[in-house]
Chains A and B, each alone.
Chain A
Amino acid sequence: MKTAKNKLITYLFYPYQSVDGWKAISWGLGIQLLATILAYFMSGRFDGFLDYHLVDDATLYQTAFDQLINVSTMLLVFGATIALISRGRNRGSDLIGLLLIARAPVVVLPLLNIGDFFRQLTPRLLADEMALSKLPSPAESFILLLFSLLALSIFVWWLVMLFQVYRLLLHKTGFGYTLLFLGLVVLAEYISKSLILLLNV
């Protein structure tokens, strides 16, 4: 029998093993919606499939539009490729739902800017002439390092989860499929970034 701790680990790191179909779609869309709202309130934008940046003046429309492009690109690039290779072995609702669930970790990214710490620190760090007084203090440097590692871990978590969902839906192994996955990530990033730059206002 699964303990509460095991259940939590399963839902956090292997949700695709127990959630499927319309339930996965509902959860996936709900989490992406939450990520969009959090990003707006924490002054961030998911301006690319693999991107999250802090900005000064993003509107809710821009934040939502970014997410719409990212999610659509992911479903189009990964969904179409998996459907093409697996030739109808997956239900459409599983394909969409599990890919949405795989993107769930990004919901944590906006929370890293609690207190607006990073948005205020960034211009100082990027200033052309960095005066000694503008350098981050040891405490600020520690927080910067800690949260940078956290942000990196979240990106790794989300890419690992996407890879696991990709393997589950394809049910194929081999170096060729790993390379294909990496190619799809690059393609999704290229398409989403281009669309956001071209279409966003």
Chain B
Amino acid sequence: MKKLPVVCPSCEAQLQVKTLCCASCATTVEGDFKLPVLARLNPEELNFALAFIKSSGSLKEMSALLNLSYPTVRNMLDDLIQQLQKFEDENGKK
């Protein structure tokens, strides 16, 4: 699967969605859409978020799954929360 680019390769600013296309009938919709906060996470952060949801939010389970200590996983989650908060704030401002 191709990686969705979220940052401009030229100036490193946040990319936005300009065109959406229906894979079934080829209808295209143009506009100025912001990326949802989860789509703005990097692959590692997104994988962590998905694994966290799949383990019903259990840090203990995540710790066993990733073979990392509980405080390490806890810090990763805190960093992710902080990142999501930052993205939400940015989306709110624009």
Contacts A20-B63, A171-B75, A171-B78 known; A91 to B70 CB distance under 8 Å? yes
Cross-chain contact A98 with B67 (CB below 8 angstroms): no
Complex: how many Å from CA A18 to CA B66?
9
Q: Which chain B residues border A21 with CB–CB below 8 Å?
A: 70
Q: Which chain A residues border B78 with CB–CB below 8 Å?
A: 171
> Per-position contact with A for B49-88: 1 when CB-CB < 8 Å, else 0?
0000000000000010001111110110010000000000
Within A103-118, the residues touching B (CB, 8 Å) are: none
> Per-position contact with B for A14-31: 1 when CB-CB < 8 Å, else 0?
001111110010000000
Complex: how many Å from CA A163 to CA B74?
18
Cross-chain contact A18 with B67 (CB below 8 angstroms): yes
A interface residues with partner B (beta carbon < 8 Å): 16-21, 24, 89-91, 94, 98, 168-169, 171
B interface residues with partner A (beta carbon < 8 Å): 63, 67-72, 74-75, 78
Contacts beyond the supplied A24-B69, A98-B69, A168-B71: 10 A-B pairs with Cβ under 8 Å? A16-B69, A17-B68, A18-B72, A19-B69, A20-B63, A20-B71, A89-B74, A94-B69, A94-B71, A169-B71
Show 28 residue pairs from A and B whose CB-CB distance is below 8 angstroms, ordered by the A residue. A16-B69, A16-B71, A16-B72, A17-B68, A17-B72, A18-B67, A18-B69, A18-B72, A19-B69, A20-B63, A20-B69, A20-B70, A20-B71, A21-B70, A24-B69, A89-B74, A90-B74, A91-B70, A94-B69, A94-B70, A94-B71, A98-B69, A98-B71, A168-B71, A169-B71, A171-B74, A171-B75, A171-B78
